[in-house]
């Protein structure tokens, strides 16, 4: 098995949906484009990634959404050193079809109150659904490590929630821990580095917006 030295998780650059929530009434989520600022964020991320990867080869997996594909192109990685695959399991949490602005805001408020992991959008997915498909992707990723010529770098170009759920699945974080974490900013990335002890560690933590609520496994109803 040839495990990579680095697994890099990159969030797409700023998109139309990040700046105008009425766009979901007119455009499918998967078709939203990056803004001018988003393109610049991706270019700057590419500069940092090219320095990180150096002359090494990369196995890249990209969400099939327009904004993630645009982000990958703006990274300007050497095509001779990158093996790229479009990976639908890394897509954004599905909201389901077009959405009215008022309904989007209402469902987000419900999700904040109910919990991001368990709340299911009316026509879409819950965070738990995304967790399950990320787990399926991880099984495929681990099988790819069995290739003797597997590149020393893996790059995932994806979405903020998916990044957090990937790390939750990889590091076996609890639901309570996941719920307290914030998405990284647009164009930001996190690196899982392989240590001398054979374990991966996150280069820097996700920011927290609250303290995790803990549950006792022995809790009993009164």
Contact (CB, 8 A) for 166 and 25: no
User: Which residues are known to be catalytic?
Assistant: 12, 92
Contact (CB, 8 A) for 117 and 178: yes
Contact (CB, 8 A) for 32 and 65: yes
Place of tokens 């996190």: 190
* 3-state SS, residue 161: helix
- 86: Cβ contacts below 8 Å, ≥ 6 apart: 61, 62, 63, 64, 69
What are 120-126's contacts with CB under 8 Å, separation 24+?
121/93, 121/94, 121/95, 121/96, 122/96, 123/95, 123/96, 123/97, 124/93, 124/94, 124/95, 124/96, 125/93, 125/94, 125/96
DSSP class of residue 34? B
């Amino acid at each position: 098995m040839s495990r990579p030295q680095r697994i890099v998780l990159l969030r797409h650059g700023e998109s139309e949906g990040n700046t105008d929530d009425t766009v979901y009434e007119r455009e499918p989520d998967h078709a939203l484009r990056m803004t001018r600022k988003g393109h610049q964020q991706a270019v700057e991320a590419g500069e940092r990634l090219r320095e990180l990867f150096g002359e090494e080869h990369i196995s890249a997996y990209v969400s099939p959404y327009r904004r993630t594909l645009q982000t990958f192109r703006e990274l300007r990685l050497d095509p001779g050193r990158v093996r790229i695959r479009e990976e639908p399991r890394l897509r954004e949490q599905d909201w389901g079809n077009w959405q009215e602005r008022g309904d989007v805001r209402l469902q987000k408020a419900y999700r904040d109150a109910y919990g991001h992991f368990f709340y299911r959008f009316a026509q879409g997915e819950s965070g738990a659904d995304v967790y399950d498909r990320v787990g399926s992707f991880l099984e495929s990723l681990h099988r790819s490590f069995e290739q003797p010529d597997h590149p020393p770098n893996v790059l995932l170009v994806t979405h903020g929630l998916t990044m957090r759920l990937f790390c939750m699945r990889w590091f076996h974080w609890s639901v309570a821990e996941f719920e307290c974490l914030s998405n990284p900013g647009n164009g930001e990335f996190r690196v899982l580095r392989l240590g001398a002890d054979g374990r991966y560690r996150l280069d820097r933590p996700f920011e927290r917006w609250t303290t995790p609520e803990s549950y006792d496994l022995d809790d009993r109803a009164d």
